Amino acid sequence: MSVSQDIVKLLPYLRRYARALTGSQQTGDQYVRVAIEAIIAEPDRMKKASDVRVELFRVFHDAWSIFDRAIPADRVNGGDEALSAQLASLPSLERQILLLVSLEGFTTTEAALILELDESEVHEHLTAARAELKRQSTARVLIIEDEPVIAMDIQSIVESLGHTVVGVAARQAEAVALAQKHRPGLVLADVQLQDGDSGIVTVQEILRAMDAPVIFVTGFPERLLTGDRVEPAFIITKPFDPETLKVAIGQALSFSAPEALVRA
């Protein structure tokens, strides 16, 4: 029972990883469901686990490989355009390791266990992934955050990556107006804004008029990782490490449309 309870507590974070990995709530949550089905079919593998979190993510990666091989050809070859697009851009091993270490906080030793690699390989892939981030095209970024100090921190991190901040908004109306004026290639948003405004509602309004990846930066990530409704693909937790935000930005932009990017 304790293992089952641990898995339930860890599910939101597995969803976060899966969504960031695939760039899609729908695809990421589907992979998570397959992993849970694998655990139900083979419960002993979790009972023997010395670290439930590491084993849960390892099962996820095992299930991911099985799921990819089992997808009917007609779904990939035009039968399901959304799924086909996501499968075409499944991330490299470097991105998997980068997200495991920088987004989910695993050590390189734990990442090696999850991916069944030598730790030396993990270090090599991690170095390559960080170098890839530095070569990424730049984007116009809108920050929606009502805490001035946090907004300044986010702006500093964004600009250190070479991106351009087109505006910082603390309220819904201001954010929507800035988005309409500048058409950003990336939006970073808090969930709770000034005067009771909702960051989620604000982003929904922005996305009705344009298409851009969104990263939610929130102190309550579990509320956006239930899997029960339409939820964001990219979520990081406050307080955040600058490296975590940098990685999330890089992964979000890797799934964005080319016109959203500005070549350096």
Say what the pLDDT of residue 221 is.
85
- What does the domain layout of the chain look like in residue ranges? 2-131, 137-262
DSSP assignment letter at 89:
T
Rg of the chain in Å (alpha carbons): 19
| Token pair for 155 | 């702006």
CATH number of 2-131: 1.20.140.160
Candidates 19, 20, 24, 18; CA nearest to 86 is 24
- The Cβ-side half-sphere exposure at 149, using a 13 Å CA radius, reads 2
Say what the pLDDT of residue 167 is.
97
Say what the pLDDT of residue 121 is.
96
Q: Which residues pair with 169 in a beta bridge?
A: 144
pTM over 0.85: no
Say what the pLDDT of residue 76 is.
41
Say what the pLDDT of residue 75 is.
44
Domain 2-131 matches domain 137-262 at the CATH topology level: no
pLDDT digits 0-9 by tens, 38-84 = 899 888 877 667 899 999 999 999 887 765 554 444 444 444 444 44
5, exposed or middle or buried, with CB in 10 Å at 0-12, 13-18, 19+? exposed
Can you tell me the mean pLDDT for 216-231? 83
Say what the pLDDT of residue 136 is.
80
What CA–CA distance (Å, rounded) separates 122 from 198?
39
pLDDT digits 0-9 by tens, 87-96 = 334 457 898 9
Beta-strand (E) ranges in 91-175?
138-144, 164-169
Question: What superfamily does domain 137-262 belong to in CATH?
Answer: Response regulator (3.40.50.2300)
Say what the pLDDT of residue 2 is.
82
- Max distance between CA atoms of the chain, in angstroms, equals 56
Is residue 203 scored above 60 in pLDDT? yes
